[in-house]
Amino acid sequence: MGILAKLFSLLLLLPVAQGTTSHIIKYWYGGFKAAACAPVTHELNGWTIRMHFDKNVRYVEAWIGKVRKISNREYTISSRSHRNPGDLICFTFLGHNDGKIKPFAKITIDGQGQSRSSGGQKNYGGALAKSILFYDAQRSGRLPSNNPIPWRGDSNVGDCVPGGWHDAGDHLKFGLPLSSAATLLGWSLVQFKDGYEAAGQLDQMYDMMKWVYDYFLRAWKPGQQKLCVQVGDGNADHMFWGRPEDMHMSRPCKFVSEYTPGADIAGGTAAAMAAGSIAYRQKDAAFADRLLEGAKSLYNFAKGHRGVFTGGAPFYGSSGDADEMCEGAMWLYKATGKQSYLIDAKGFVDLGVAWSLGWDDKKLACQGLLYEATEEDQYKRAVEGYFKNWFPGGDVTYTPCGLAWRTKWGANRFTANSAFMALLAAEMGIEPTKYRKWAMEQINYFLGDNNHDGGCFSFEIGYGSKFPRNPHHRAASCPDPPAPCTYDQEKAPGFSPHILQGALVGGPDKDDSYTDERSDYIHNEVALDYNAGFQGALAGIVHLQAVGKMPATNNKCPC
């Protein structure tokens, strides 16, 4: 048995519940060779190992993943490979330093063993990674070589605007929920970039978001003053149950233009692109410039052609465009610093208390952005008024296990968005401990702190050992080709053939009851806007882990 095999055999016997340390194999003047094993306590779809050295190390070489230097004493190694609970990630590496020294490193896997609540340990980083996979599963168009969803292939490549994300369990592309989800996701990347990094998901997040930003750039034609806001016929699409790869129906496009108003979608898309320009500024300045120029011209178009888009009825009808215009103006202000955008936003803002934050109502987001920029009390009071309604004692119903339950149709989506906004408000200095505690307790409910199926049931598919297996999602319900997939699959017995990793289902009823039925689109639908705030909140929680600001929580039905 070689020295490395002997070392790994020894490591298997060591008590390493919270990680382990590296072991020097040999060393010399200017360098050393070491080995380590890190235990896996949760299912991982992609992982990041963090190494904390006791002495300075100039650089590290490893072959198990991508090495990143944080400082002379901290390095990370990341991989997109899968690992199961109970596995050990064992590897060797070379270190280079000055002199002849024997440094050792504490080895941990990000997202494991870092946080406990009343509901026990939650792998927030792992949940974040899975949410990114959900958006990858929603991709339309010709898929890239690094597609991480093996049961998805090229689809709808002949669309008038190819690419983008399918809206939900169907295969339509709707501009209003698409831009709404992209704005919240972009906001999470701007505000909690360190959370994505600590979870080992920063590269995956950039890859995921570029897919939708490229779609927006294709959808907006500034020379023609025309924005594509819908791809596909809603009624025809909903008559089809099958794989998106097998769709051959006509997929008409709908546009807003000088003659067809749609400032709600145009303003929201401008917000998404402007947020993206900030998120990509340091990674890819040229791409950030394209997004910013697109956002500016699209916002100007929307400002000059006010009114809501009505051509998509009965799907995603908007109640107004001022909230999206305010949001677009604020993200352009953040991206450019130009006072004219801030003045515009102050003119668009509604200081009333929002019912919720969602694809049709960006009021709360605009209020929060204005408070962040100005620190004026009127915006702070508006945000506080919202959470007064949402916290216990307000007008939002709470389930017996503590979920803030706004409505039965996709209840989880409104709560997740509110949790994300609570974490953002806390970063703005609004009652940080209280807001963070509430947000984490809501996310804990989603990840298992509930009483469904005996407890420890996750409403995020693929997280933990108990989760929905029959979401209202056509592609996931279809067996592998060449087996046929028809409407028979909607009510077929047994689990869906594919696990739709990371999708947050609509959620329980107000008594915590929930049935995992594929045909139940009220409680078991999945959608772009369902995951957006949820993913943002997860990134915010991993950020709190990274900076040591995790609040104590007290869930009513701990797992």
Give the pLDDT confidence of 180-192 residue by residue, as tens digits: 999 999 999 999 9
At 201, is the secondary structure helix, strand, or coil?
Answer: coil
The tokens for 105 are 């490193």
Instruction: Return mean pLDDT, the chain.
Output: 91
Tell me, yes or no, whether 78 and 134 share the same domain. no
Closest CA to 373 of 324, 423, 422, 338: 338
The active-site residue out of 43, 136, 525, 529 is 525
Which domain range does residue 314 map to? Answer: 120-547
Tell me which of 34-48, 88-102, 273-287 is least confident.
Answer: 34-48
The answer as to whether 553 is a domain residue is: no
Residue 206 has pLDDT above 60, yes or no: yes
Q: β-strand 120-121 against 105-109: which pairing, if any? A: unpaired
> Count of domains in the chain?
2
The tokens for 208 are 């995921």
The answer as to whether 554 is a domain residue is: no
Cα–Cα distance, 14 to 91 (Å, whole number): 16
pLDDT at position 86 is 64
The answer as to whether 552 is a domain residue is: no
Residue 261 has pLDDT above 70, yes or no: yes
Residue 12 has pLDDT above 80, yes or no: no
Tell me, yes or no, whether 208 and 329 share the same domain. yes
Q: Are 205 and 128 in contact (CB under 8 A)?
A: no
Rounded to an integer, what is the distance from CA 200 to the centroid of its chain? Answer: 14
65: pLDDT confidence band, cut at 50, 70 and 90?
confident
Last residue of a domain, one of 81, 109, 137: 109
Tell me, yes or no, whether 315 and 457 share the same domain. yes
The answer as to whether 114 is a domain residue is: no
Last residue of a domain, one of 109, 128, 148: 109
- How much is the average pLDDT of 27-32? 87
Residue 3 has pLDDT above 50, yes or no: no
- How much is the average pLDDT of 447-474? 96
Q: What is the dihedral of CA 414, 416, 417, 421, to 10 degrees?
A: 130
Residue 364 has pLDDT above 60, yes or no: yes
Residue 372 has pLDDT above 50, yes or no: yes
Q: Which residues pair with 460 in a beta bridge?
A: 504
Q: β-strand 23-28 against 31-39: which pairing, if any? A: antiparallel
Q: Which residue has the tokens 């067996």?
A: 479
Whether residue 314 is preceded by a cis peptide bond, meaning omega within 30 degrees of 0, is yes
Residue 18 has pLDDT above 70, yes or no: no
pLDDT at position 84 is 73
Q: Which residue has the tokens 């689809």?
A: 155
The answer as to whether 153 is a domain residue is: yes
Tell me, yes or no, whether 268 and 330 share the same domain. yes
- How much is the average pLDDT of 120-134? 91
Helices (H), 155-307: 175-191, 193-198, 202-219, 234-237, 263-279, 285-304
pLDDT at position 45 is 72
- How much is the average pLDDT of 10-28? 53
- How much is the average pLDDT of 394-408? 97
Cα–Cα distance, 357 to 416 (Å, whole number): 9
287 or 55: which leads in pLDDT: 287
At 326, is the secondary structure helix, strand, or coil?
Answer: helix
Tell me, yes or no, whether 71 and 138 share the same domain. no
Cα–Cα distance, 492 to 21 (Å, whole number): 50
Residue 113 has pLDDT above 70, yes or no: no
What letter represents residue 478's amino acid? C
The tokens for 321 are 């465009």
Tell me, yes or no, whether 52 and 184 share the same domain. no
Q: Give backbone dihedrals phi and psi of 164, rounded to 5 degrees, phi first.
A: 75, -170
pLDDT at position 90 is 84
Return the CATH number at 81.
2.60.40.290
| Most confident among 23-37, 70-84, 235-249 (mean pLDDT) | 235-249
Tell me, yes or no, whether 158 and 41 share the same domain. no
Residue 399 has pLDDT above 60, yes or no: yes
Tell me, yes or no, whether 41 and 138 share the same domain. no
In angstroms, how far is the first alpha carbon of the chain from the final one?
43
Last residue of a domain, one of 48, 81, 109: 109
Tell me, yes or no, whether 335 and 206 share the same domain. yes
CA atoms within 13 A on the CB side of 175: 35
pLDDT at position 330 is 98
The answer as to whether 72 is a domain residue is: yes
Q: Are 292 and 280 in contact (CB under 8 A)?
A: no
Q: Are 217 and 287 in contact (CB under 8 A)?
A: no
104: pLDDT confidence band, cut at 50, 70 and 90?
confident
The active-site residue out of 431, 516, 517, 529 is 516
Tell me which of 45-49, 249-253, 466-470 is least confident.
Answer: 45-49
Q: Provide the residue count of the chain.
A: 559
Tell me, yes or no, whether 102 and 247 share the same domain. no
User: Can 525 be counted among the known catalytic residues?
Assistant: yes
CA atoms within 13 A on the CB side of 268: 31
21: pLDDT confidence band, cut at 50, 70 and 90?
low
20: pLDDT confidence band, cut at 50, 70 and 90?
low
Tell me which of 65-79, 382-396, 440-454 is least confident.
Answer: 65-79
- How much is the average pLDDT of 96-114? 74
The tokens for 400 are 């017996």
Return the CATH number at 494.
1.50.10.10
pLDDT at position 98 is 82
Tell me, yes or no, whether 82 and 156 share the same domain. no
Q: What is the DSSP letter of 76?
A: E
Rounded to an integer, what is the distance from CA 219 to the centroid of its chain? Answer: 23
Tell me, yes or no, whether 84 and 65 share the same domain. yes
6: pLDDT confidence band, cut at 50, 70 and 90?
very low
The answer as to whether 115 is a domain residue is: no
User: Can 516 be counted among the known catalytic residues?
Assistant: yes
The answer as to whether 204 is a domain residue is: yes
39: pLDDT confidence band, cut at 50, 70 and 90?
confident
- How much is the average pLDDT of 44-64? 85
Whether residue 481 is preceded by a cis peptide bond, meaning omega within 30 degrees of 0, is no
pLDDT digits (tens, 9 = 90+) for 324-355: 999 999 999 999 999 999 999 999 999 999 99
What are the angstrom distances between the C-alpha of 156 and each of 5, 106, 161, 251?
A: 50, 48, 10, 9
